[in-house]
């Protein structure tokens, strides 16, 4: 095997590992490797492991609940946003929505087929029709994070 093909395989492997991280952390790592350090992504991954070892912190690592050994193989799953409910191939372990749009809609509780109305329907609420003040974005995101964590750790 040539050095070039080995480097390409290492880069693919590093990208696959980075894809398992939460989106914000994955994007930061890719940005650091690609734009700031101008190094292959596998250098960042391997260098981070070396740094942990040098600092004596490699033995006390952290894991994500979505990484449980019984869920390492990605299987087709059904989108958790009920109006969508389509089957999709997850790009990350623990992914429950087929797209950012479905995740966003599920977070704010809006359904595509609902039209805002002036009367409150408890079976089909929309944020504008809820009685009282609408919850803040921070509160909605906090609740969504709690629900997502519970779904992942089941």
Query: Over the stretch 83-136, which tens digit does the pLDDT of each residue have?
Result: 999 999 888 767 888 998 888 888 887 544 444 444 555 556 565 555 455 555
What are the sequence ranges of the domains in the chain? 3-54, 67-153
Q: Residue 33: count other Cβ atoms within 10 Å of its Cβ.
A: 22
List of residues 6+ apart from 139 with CB closer than 8 A: none
What is the rounded CA–CA span in Å between residue 31 and residue 25? 10
d(CA 79, CA 98): 5
pLDDT of residue 1 exceeding 50, the answer is yes
The reply to whether the predicted model has a pTM over 0.75 is no
C-alpha distances out from residue 28 to 16, 65, 122, 146, Å:
15, 21, 41, 23
pLDDT of res. 76: 85
Query: What pLDDT sits at residue 61?
Result: 77
Q: Give percent of the chain with pLDDT exceeding 90.
A: 32
Structure tokens at 95: 């992914």
SS3 78: strand
Give residue 96's pLDDT: 87
């Amino acid at each position: 095997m040539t050095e070039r093909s080995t480097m390409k395989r290492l880069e693919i492997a590093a990208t696959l590992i980075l894809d398992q991280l939460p989106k914000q952390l994955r994007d930061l790592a890719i940005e650091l490797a690609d734009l700031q350090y101008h190094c292959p992504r596998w250098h960042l991954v391997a260098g981070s492991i070396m740094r942990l070892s040098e600092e004596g912190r490699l033995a006390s690592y952290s894991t994500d609940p979505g990484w449980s050994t019984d869920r390492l193989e990605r299987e087709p799953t059904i989108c958790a946003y009920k109006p969508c409910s389509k089957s999709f191939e997850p790009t990350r372990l623990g992914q429950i929505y087929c797209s950012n749009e479905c995740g966003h809609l599920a977070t704010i509780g809006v359904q595509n087929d609902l039209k805002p109305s002036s009367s409150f329907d408890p079976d089909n609420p929309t944020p504008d029709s809820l009685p009282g003040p609408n919850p803040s974005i921070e509160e909605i995101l906090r609740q969504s994070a709690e629900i997502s964590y519970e779904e992942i750790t089941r």
